[in-house]
Structure 1
Amino acid sequence: MRKLPEIDRTPNPAGHANSARGVAGNSAMHDSAWKHVRGEARYIDDMPEPEGVLHAAVGHSTHAHAKIKSMDLSAVRAFPGVVAVLTVDDVPGHIDIGPVFPGDPVLANGLVEHVGQPLFAVAATSLRAARQAARQAKVEYEPLDHAVTVHDALEKQLFVRPDHTQQRGDFEKALNESPHRLQGAINVGGQEHFYLESQACLVEPSEDAGVHVHTSSQHPSEVQTLVAEVLGLPIHEVTAEVRRMGGGFGGKETQAAPLACVAALLARHTGRAVKYRLARYDDMVQTGKRHDFYNTYDIGFDDDGVLQGADIMVAGRCGYSPDLSDAIVDRAMFHSDNAYSLGPARVTGHRCKTHTVSNTAFRGFGGPQGMMTIEMAMDDIARHLGQDPLDIRKRNLYRPGRDTTHYGQVVEQHVLAELMEKLEISADYRKRREEIVTFNRDNPVLKRGIALTPVKFGISFTVQHLNQAGALVHIYTDGSILVNHGGTEMGQGLYIKVAQVVAAAFQVDLERIKVTSTRTDKVPNTSPTAASSGSDLNGMAALDACEKIKANLADYAAQKFGVDASEVRFANNQVIAGEHAVDWAEFVQGAYTARIPLFSSGYYQTPKIHYDRNTGQGRPFYYYANGAACSEVIVDTLTGEYRILRSDILHDVGQSLNPAIDIGQIEGAFIQGAGWLTTEELVYADDGRLLSNGPATYKIPAVSDAPLDFRVSLLENSPNKEATVFRSKAVGEPPFMLGMSVWSALRDAVASVADYRHSTPLDTPATPERVLGAVTRTQEWLEQQRAKDTAHKGEKEGNRKGAPA
């Protein structure tokens, strides 16, 4: 077996004098990296199956909106291998499992509201038998009127939640008095999560009335609670456990719970373990995606392109139920400014109901869709004034004197101006811009484009009570340390970061730390691992537990060696008390013998945050994460095909807990963001069926879609001014929006067709077909302008000839 490489011994940036290996601040390998590579990492489908395990499947609705007139399941029950068939009438507890607001029946209750909605559940001796049996049902429907698109919902005034408005200042007066005014609209496409591991769970009945749920979920406490409610049990009878997920991206925040509820119902009914795993097709049809949006803007600006006021509308396709859409559209509203001071502004958000699967969380949680509107406006202002889009963006950045958002939060840390200036220089933007203009002038078919776009992303759950976390830290007598916390591992490296935090707290080698599966019977009432807050919340909770243990150990050391507790420190795998230095493991053994507690719980709640929905004002975010990307593309104007030639990224992660993990997160987020805006297209038929329902019809980015030249750097010497864990900053979601630089670069290439005089709308995803359409519209505009210029020139010449001598 190959030996694992030694972990970096570089001292951590917090300045501790130590040589403990792998503490926070150093690059350290993902704790499951070799397991992933070797195929040893155990996911739900890899777990040893209990004796007599049954496999689950559900029957799906074939209508977008209909009443169920009758449902004959006799052939399903008679199918070989079937052990149980359950309908909504067999649910002993709650029927509605909506995560925040009601609207999500665990099984259809007389009405279906999207194609693919579960009607009944089947348990069989094999997965094949369960799936085949589910297809034998005979269901009679009474079709009802349905809405599929955002535009359908807006026309019919269908909404899952009330509208919400944020307003600051007299935006109408500002717009009316602005020297320049523009309006625009954009359709922003949705996105399939396409995690490698589909939704899956394994539920085992316990010896009492409860169940143990192995789930692939970002929110095990929600799984625990909803399973208990469906079974009609107190929450303590259900344990939910998560070791790892094969990707989540938000798709497993709420959407894992319905599977666990169905499997739990079958498990309690049969008294046998039940495994429920979705095939890729079923996963894509049955579970929610990123919301697609229809956004509009009305902006006023001065001769320099500086915004004077704005009126922005965002409308998200929520699907048939609220799910998390209220908060998702809220975040789209919060981020409609991205990095720019809007001036007096109004932002309105609509939560549109459609008869499609209920859309849900996805990396960025509505923020990316909100940002697209103002980034479109920045490009449009630049073309209107005949200036470089980068200059327009830089002039509109938040700065002292223009630092209050449309929802009332003051931007306190102005890092973007410096960050963008550094990236502009390191990416050689100005020189490349000149070269691109020359290239485009000399090439009638191939056109290059470049764009440098910023990101300002708020960090915190916008639902205040979710901003809390708990942890347990146990030290054993050999000096090894076990950690358990409420965060879940989906490949993002949360476990290794928390382990590094604990290693740094005690100044011991990272190899001494083990983080165990997230379990609701160890740390209760956990928040979802989402909102980029996993390290912020759980790292601080673990650190709190460590500090409590250290206080006890310091008192013990002070008493043992006759020194003041202030003279006790932890360094270099030792406990040092004055002139005495004791090996860590030896000291821990002594502390145990002296009956010093070697375990503690920890807790953390994010300070300062608040938001009043009645006024649309507050401080919903603890701080902002920032970054910028410069991307260059080349477009074939005859086909609309394109390539990303180069992307440069400079991102601010504060005092990084693990630079290698953070850079990996940035790279992956950028590619996923670029995929959302270019290749990943969700296509629905008029009857509500999802047509892009597999890898043959839905294109996630491949290696060939990545930039040919890809450069990623972390902003140096930029510790978080807020008291986060070791002054780090969140990194999970913010880099996703750096992919906007690719979309803006495509618009730049298209604009070059008309010598940068016209800004043609480009809906997303900007597939080659849409890019070609934008090129065609730009060419048509250019021909119209030439015709006008020719007519105007002829009119002027005629006037001169007819003038008196």
Structure 2
Amino acid sequence: MSKSPHSTVGSSLPHESAHLHVTGTAPYTDDIPEQRNTLHAAFGLSERAHARIAALDLSAVRTAPGVMAVATLDDVPGEKYLGPFLHDEPIFADGVTQYLGQPLFAVAAHTHDQARYAARLAKVIYEDLEPILDVTQGAAQQAYVLPPVRMSRGDLPAALLSAPLRHQGEFFCGGQEQFYLEGQVAYAIPGENQEMQVFCSTQHPSEMQAMVSHMLALPATCVRVQCRRMGGGFGGKESQSWPFATAAALLASMTGQAVKMRADRDDDFMITGKRHDFFMRYDVAYEPDGLIRGVAFDQWVRCGYSADLSGAVADRQVFHSDNAYYLEAVDIRSLRIKTHTQSNTAFRGFGGPQGILCIEYVIDDIARRLGLDPLDVRRRNFYGKEERNVTPYQMRLEDNVVHELVEQLEASSQYRQRRREIQAFNDVNPVLKKGLALVPVKFGISFTATHLNQAGALVHVYTDGSVLVNHGGTEMGQGLNTKVAQVVAEEFGLPLASIRVSATDTAKVANTSATAASTGTDLNGKAAQDAARKVKQALIAYASDHYGCDAQEISFHDGQVCLGTLAPMSFVDFVRQAYMARIPLWSSGFYRTPKIHYDMATLTGRPFYYFVYAAACAEVVIDTLTGENRLLRADILYDAGRPINPAVDLGQIEGGFIQGVGWLTTEELWWNDQGRLMTHAPSTYKIPSVSDCPADLRVAFFDNGNRENNIYQSKAMGEPPLPLAISVFLALRDAIAAVAPEHEVVPLDAPATAERILNTLDMVAPRRLGQGWSWRSSTSPLSSAMSE
């Protein structure tokens, strides 16, 4: 990677809160000192997925020890239905339960345990209704939370009929729980003149402000929402912080006392939505060399009981169903299906990983049927540079580097050599089988809702030379505040220690967008840079006038201000002098992403400012007796443009990749036939641990500046690393194929748990038996083999 020409930007500086994290002194929402007489809140939850509430007796709840207030839908003074897109979600169930775990009421008591105990004393009489619990059932009943969407290009029927080869298939991919380390929490404090301050663990303070103000029938000026940091968000705190924020604020309004609502982990699982699971059917036509002539996708997306963000998530799945490949004839039908389960929501990637997985599964199928290396089939279908470079939604690729990036990773990972070595290994090992896959990613960066691509910031320079920054983004551990501080430090030529970023606060920067869509640094970094440059220009104008210097000769670096031929002056002395001359030392900044536009009716336009390109090569081994598997090695090459902080970015790539591995291999959500989520705690839901990380993990940056005028030519970091884990899923499929007859398709759904791998082996492997080993031996050689 090229050396950064900047003094602060481009340097691997420590995360601004790292020392607080490792010493346990970083305050989160639940750590805020509580006011005297603070009450604690809990929800009473539905025990039915779909039922009429014939009677709700809360008398035992109201008289339980410590209880000060009980809130139901009738107690809401303002809007009783809320939602980030459609206001289709009742604050509490409105006569009918829509999922098992839906809040029916909220209770405030003197202690957290008293509130939880009281909430369980409600007596509810239900009249059961028939629930819809999966997408197949919902599709059959045409139950949708939003109308179906279709995007097409070219003459697909002709392509399907005229191509020499064609086949159909189907695939299911499960959802994923965000599993942030810090659960949902809000702390509401009533103030004078109906004011309400809410400290909330949320990725979207402005939306929480709007939800609380709508619910209390107050203007936004009466509601202030603040978030210093989150212990993870991953999309789960973009929209679905609102039930906790509004319940705390409602109870605080009713009692006149501060109220904290901190969700128990089980309740958090039961109440909140996950990554959208989906079922996909496809019909693909292609040439003998693997070139795709046409493909049709049916994508059935489980949305849950309400719209939430499902429309935008499903749209992004559609947009990313091409990944890095030119599809000359394509038809994608997206069904946004209603089920009586938690309302699914944003999760890192926001539908993009699901779309990429669709086309990668199809390409892998084509390669298996043709007996070709999947990487060669991928290459044949890549977008071109000058032609074959327009997406199905009519956006032209102007920054395509997938050819060069994949070529570099193929060489650095020794893909061809390892492919031969794995074949040799599989030939002599009847039980353990290895697999290898190299998968590219093209990920669009911007909110597809164009109006959200804006940000504001405030920069204050104090007379001691220190600088305070406030912006509309939220810090959830991803290093946003660190990068924004680096940008401001670079503008003023100051060390990072001179810059402090304060808590995100709706009273400081208003009308902000969520910290999502991988745009946090892009938007807020540019807004902070704009504010810093306004202050700097005022200082330059003052210096030019006061000292008679040419403005072009005035510069800021190394804590000094250079004034042409005059002796440099320290930044501190200079700003003190400017203050005495009544020069403004603060300013607001604003940024709106240029070039983007998108027609939601036709699904065409330029929804993305630029693309991030990346690729991963994964090697796995499976035990064909048990389905147990290991990720042995992963090589990742990532196009980060010119990284603002390579160390922070490296952590994001590694973390996002492993989180994606969890989604596709171990994290299985399961509802029983009553609609109860059975995987609702760490004891029943398996996220990746340190032992799931490969012993050999190699991450490198692709040397490629962002061709768009993004902040210091950097590229986004949050979401694109996650779909790189598709390489692990397809490597597992490759390992299973080692025991299947040649050219046979390996039907593997996700997540590829040990059970699913074993079931697939049962389907494809019996024809290869009789090699002198027991298919159901009680002894697994994988652990011992891996330790040697």
TM bin, normalised by shorter chain, reads: over 0.9
Q: 1:756 and 1:483, CA in 2 relative to 1: closer, same or farther beyond 3 A? A: farther
Kindly indicate whether the alpha-carbon contact (under 8 Å) linking 2:52 and 2:96 is maintained by their aligned counterparts in 1. Answer: yes
**What corresponds to 2:427 in structure 1?**
441
Kindly indicate whether the alpha-carbon contact (under 8 Å) linking 2:741 and 2:767 is maintained by their aligned counterparts in 1. Answer: no
Kindly indicate whether the alpha-carbon contact (under 8 Å) linking 2:666 and 2:751 is maintained by their aligned counterparts in 1. Answer: yes
**What corresponds to 2:371 in structure 1?**
386
2:693 is the alignment partner of 1:706: yes
- Structure 1 residue matching 2:298: 3-state secondary structure: strand
From 569, 573, 585, the equivalent of 1:582 is: 569
- Look up the equivalent residue of 1:647 and give its one-letter code: A
**What corresponds to 2:626 in structure 1?**
639
CA distance in 1, matches of 2:395, 2:297: 18
CA distance in 2, matches of 1:12, 1:497: 18
Give the 5 Å matches for 1:277-292. Answer: 277-292=262-277
- Look up the equivalent residue of 1:66 and give its one-letter code: A
**What corresponds to 2:50 in structure 1?**
65
1:616 Cα deviation after fit = 2.1
Deviations 1:669-691 (A, max 9, x none): 00000000000000000110000
Question: Normalised by the size of structure 1, how large is the TM-score?
Answer: 0.94
Deviations 1:470-519 (A, max 9, x none): 00000000110000000000000000000000011111111100000000
CA distance in 2, matches of 1:310, 1:115: 38
1:782 Cα deviation after fit = 5.9
Give me the CA root mean square deviation: 1.3
1:759 Cα deviation after fit = 2.1
Task: Give the stretch that moved more between structures: 190-199 or 93-102.
Answer: 93-102
Kindly indicate whether the alpha-carbon contact (under 8 Å) linking 1:649 and 1:711 is maintained by their aligned counterparts in 2. Answer: yes
Kindly indicate whether the alpha-carbon contact (under 8 Å) linking 2:741 and 2:768 is maintained by their aligned counterparts in 1. Answer: no
Which structure 2 segments of 5+ residues have no match?
771-788
CA distance in 2, matches of 1:28, 1:446: 43
1:315 Cα deviation after fit = 1.4
**What corresponds to 1:802 in structure 2?**
none
From 34, 52, 55, the equivalent of 2:19 is: 34
Kindly indicate whether the alpha-carbon contact (under 8 Å) linking 2:632 and 2:695 is maintained by their aligned counterparts in 1. Answer: yes
1:348 Cα deviation after fit = 1.2
From 294, 298, 301, the equivalent of 1:313 is: 298
1:564 Cα deviation after fit = 1.7
CA distance in 2, matches of 1:12, 1:483: 27
Q: 1:782 and 1:373, CA in 2 relative to 1: closer, same or farther beyond 3 A? A: farther
CA distance in 1, matches of 2:713, 2:90: 43
- Look up the equivalent residue of 1:404 and give its one-letter code: V
2:144 is the alignment partner of 1:159: yes
- Look up the equivalent residue of 1:284 and give its one-letter code: F
**What corresponds to 1:352 in structure 2?**
337
2:247 is the alignment partner of 1:258: no
Give the 5 Å matches for 1:475-494. Answer: 475-494=461-480
Task: Give the stretch that moved more between structures: 651-660 or 399-408.
Answer: 399-408
From 383, 394, 403, the equivalent of 1:408 is: 394
**What corresponds to 1:734 in structure 2?**
720
1:775 Cα deviation after fit = 1.3
- Look up the equivalent residue of 1:500 and give its one-letter code: Q
2:316 is the alignment partner of 1:337: no
1:659 Cα deviation after fit = 0.1
1:562 Cα deviation after fit = 0.9
1:538 Cα deviation after fit = 0.2
**What corresponds to 2:403 in structure 1?**
417
2:673 is the alignment partner of 1:686: yes
**What corresponds to 1:554 in structure 2?**
540
1:30 Cα deviation after fit = 0.6
**What corresponds to 1:803 in structure 2?**
none
- Look up the equivalent residue of 1:99 and give its one-letter code: P
CA distance in 1, matches of 2:763, 2:61: 54
Task: Give the stretch that moved more between structures: 565-574 or 364-373.
Answer: 565-574
Kindly indicate whether the alpha-carbon contact (under 8 Å) linking 1:754 and 1:782 is maintained by their aligned counterparts in 2. Answer: yes
1:781 Cα deviation after fit = 6.2
- Look up the equivalent residue of 1:662 and give its one-letter code: D
2:36 is the alignment partner of 1:46: no
**What corresponds to 1:7 in structure 2?**
none
**What corresponds to 1:622 in structure 2?**
609
Kindly indicate whether the alpha-carbon contact (under 8 Å) linking 1:633 and 1:742 is maintained by their aligned counterparts in 2. Answer: yes
CA distance in 1, matches of 2:597, 2:162: 33
**What corresponds to 1:607 in structure 2?**
594
Q: 1:11 and 1:397, CA in 2 relative to 1: closer, same or farther beyond 3 A? A: closer
1:12 Cα deviation after fit = 7.3
CA distance in 2, matches of 1:347, 1:783: 40
2:531 is the alignment partner of 1:545: yes
1:714 Cα deviation after fit = 1.0
CA distance in 2, matches of 1:781, 1:355: 42
1:613 Cα deviation after fit = 2.4
Deviations 1:410-458 (A, max 9, x none): 1111211111111111111111100101111111111000000011010
- Structure 2 residue matching 1:495: 3-state secondary structure: helix
1:780 Cα deviation after fit = 4.2
From 91, 97, 109, the equivalent of 1:124 is: 109
- Look up the equivalent residue of 1:507 and give its one-letter code: G
CA distance in 1, matches of 2:597, 2:114: 52
- Structure 1 residue matching 2:21: 3-state secondary structure: helix
CA distance in 2, matches of 1:727, 1:315: 38
From 76, 91, 94, the equivalent of 1:109 is: 94
1:461 Cα deviation after fit = 0.3
- Structure 2 residue matching 1:754: 3-state secondary structure: coil
1:783 Cα deviation after fit = 8.0
Kindly indicate whether the alpha-carbon contact (under 8 Å) linking 2:324 and 2:442 is maintained by their aligned counterparts in 1. Answer: yes
- Structure 2 residue matching 1:734: 3-state secondary structure: coil
Task: Give the stretch that moved more between structures: 367-376 or 532-541.
Answer: 367-376
1:11 Cα deviation after fit = 11
**What corresponds to 2:169 in structure 1?**
184
CA distance in 2, matches of 1:411, 1:752: 37
CA distance in 2, matches of 1:67, 1:316: 26
- Look up the equivalent residue of 1:462 and give its one-letter code: T
1:566 Cα deviation after fit = 1.7
Which structure 1 segments of 5+ residues have no match?
1-9, 785-805
CA distance in 2, matches of 1:171, 1:553: 61
**What corresponds to 1:452 in structure 2?**
438
**What corresponds to 1:516 in structure 2?**
502
From 745, 749, 753, the equivalent of 1:759 is: 745
CA distance in 2, matches of 1:692, 1:427: 37
**What corresponds to 1:243 in structure 2?**
228
Kindly indicate whether the alpha-carbon contact (under 8 Å) linking 1:44 and 1:215 is maintained by their aligned counterparts in 2. Answer: yes
1:80 Cα deviation after fit = 0.7
Question: Normalised by the size of structure 2, how large is the TM-score?
Answer: 0.96
- Look up the equivalent residue of 2:477 and give its one-letter code: G
CA distance in 1, matches of 2:198, 2:175: 31
Kindly indicate whether the alpha-carbon contact (under 8 Å) linking 2:29 and 2:227 is maintained by their aligned counterparts in 1. Answer: no
Kindly indicate whether the alpha-carbon contact (under 8 Å) linking 2:741 and 2:764 is maintained by their aligned counterparts in 1. Answer: no
CA distance in 2, matches of 1:132, 1:631: 48
Kindly indicate whether the alpha-carbon contact (under 8 Å) linking 2:146 and 2:336 is maintained by their aligned counterparts in 1. Answer: yes
Report how many residues are paired: 768
**What corresponds to 2:763 in structure 1?**
777
CA distance in 2, matches of 1:778, 1:552: 72
**What corresponds to 1:365 in structure 2?**
350
Kindly indicate whether the alpha-carbon contact (under 8 Å) linking 1:65 and 1:111 is maintained by their aligned counterparts in 2. Answer: yes
Q: 1:713 and 1:66, CA in 2 relative to 1: closer, same or farther beyond 3 A? A: same
Kindly indicate whether the alpha-carbon contact (under 8 Å) linking 1:314 and 1:370 is maintained by their aligned counterparts in 2. Answer: no
CA distance in 2, matches of 1:613, 1:45: 40
CA distance in 2, matches of 1:379, 1:267: 55
1:173 Cα deviation after fit = 1.1
1:619 Cα deviation after fit = 0.9
2:80 is the alignment partner of 1:87: no
- Look up the equivalent residue of 1:48 and give its one-letter code: P
Deviations 1:172-224 (A, max 9, x none): 11121111112111101100011000000110001220210000000000000
2:636 is the alignment partner of 1:649: yes
CA distance in 1, matches of 2:717, 2:298: 28
**What corresponds to 2:518 in structure 1?**
532
1:614 Cα deviation after fit = 2.3
Kindly indicate whether the alpha-carbon contact (under 8 Å) linking 1:85 and 1:120 is maintained by their aligned counterparts in 2. Answer: yes
